[in-house]
Amino acid sequence: KRGIGEPERGERVRAAARLLELEALLERKPKQLSGGQQQRVALGRALVREPQVFLLDEPLSNLDAKLRATMRAELIELHGRIGCTMVYVTHDQLEAMTMSTRIAVMNKGALQQFATPSEIYHRPANTFVASFIGTPSMAVLEGTLTQAADGWRIESGAFSADLPEGHLSDEAVAGPVRFAIRPEDVSVGQGPRRAKVRLVEPTGHESIVIMDLDGLSLTARVPGDAQLKSGDTVDASIRADRIHVFDAAAGHRLNSDRHRADAMATASGGRR
């Protein structure tokens, strides 16, 4: 009760029930509720207390897809309204990317990266974050870094790509590396390379294409109406300026991200 009068308690309970679609279940006993309904009740009990900090451990995991989408939006709005801190544990990347202002990526109890969703996605700190964040995930590949005329070149079997000037930090040295390419940085249907389509996974608005390019297994996104099938040979290209490079042994990021920092400085009028 915590010093709250009966009218206010009742109003808070009814408001939380409306939010969680539990109004028809208020008279039921806990044993009469499904697992998903019990999870919503637990979230409602937290909401009515209006705490300063919410600790949420996968609160939407037992809900159906439609209700998860509704509750995700409601929790985002709730956070904006009450302005309190929410620590939210989830294995769902969509929840993490859409709901958070900061993400802590953990692996076996060790913190891998703590940053904004944009930073996590565009500048993964190591190979674990690179392969973990993103659906479909980026391909993490073995390669060799060699000195080119104007900078660095990535080579892996028959594949090679010249990296733009300033793409790598001063820590980069010639030798074995790991590199990664996100699906959206692979273009299908145009470009100087040839690739063979292995698998097409339609999702409606787009299709996910898995293909072999110069001996590399890569994933790309194409429009949902693209007429592709397994066995097709297509033109393709890769954005060299979006290739992520990592130390082969330690796995940490070797990109300088200088072009990104310069772009941000330009957008802010040179302020740092």
% of residues, the chain, pLDDT over 90: 56
Using DSSP's 3-state secondary structure scheme, residue 110 falls into: strand
What is the location of CATH 3.40.50.300 in the chain? Answer: 6-99
Is the CB of residue 191 less than 8 Å from the CB of residue 236?
yes
pLDDT at 262 exceeding the cut of 50 = no
What is the location of CATH 2.40.50.140 in the chain? Answer: 132-267
Kind and range of the H or E run holding 90: none
More confident residue, 227 or 64: 227
DSSP 182-222: -GGGEEEEEEEEEEEEEEEEE-SSEEEEEEEETTEEEEEEE
pLDDT at 210 exceeding the cut of 70 = yes
Confidence of residue 3 (pLDDT cuts 50, 70, 90): low
Question: What does the pLDDT average to over 1-22?
Answer: 75
The CATH class that applies to domain 132-267 reads mainly beta
Residue 258: its pLDDT value, please? Answer: 61
Confidence of residue 83 (pLDDT cuts 50, 70, 90): confident
Average predicted confidence (pLDDT) for the chain: 87
Alpha-carbon gap, residue 123 to 146, rounded angstroms: 22
pLDDT at 2 exceeding the cut of 70 = no
Q: Which residues contact 17 (CB under 8 A, 6 or more apart)?
A: 23, 25, 26, 44
Is the CB of residue 133 less than 8 Å from the CB of residue 121?
yes
Options 3.40.50.720, 2.40.110.10, 3.40.50.300, 3.30.70.3040; CATH of 6-99? 3.40.50.300
pLDDT at 130 exceeding the cut of 80 = yes
Per residue in 35-47, pLDDT (tens digit) is 777 877 887 888 7
Of 219, 241, 255, the C-alpha closest to 141 is 219
Is the CB of residue 133 less than 8 Å from the CB of residue 220?
no
pLDDT at 82 exceeding the cut of 80 = no
Task: Give the lowest-confidence range in 45-59, 98-112, 126-140, 220-234.
Answer: 45-59
Residue 49: its pLDDT value, please? Answer: 77
pLDDT at 235 exceeding the cut of 90 = yes
Alpha-carbon gap, residue 203 to 64, rounded angstroms: 19
Q: In what order do the strands lie in the sheet with 206-213?
A: 216-223, 206-213, 186-202, 233-238
DSSP 142-190: EEEEEEETTEEEEEETTEEEEPPTT-B-TT--SEEEEEEE-GGGEEEEE
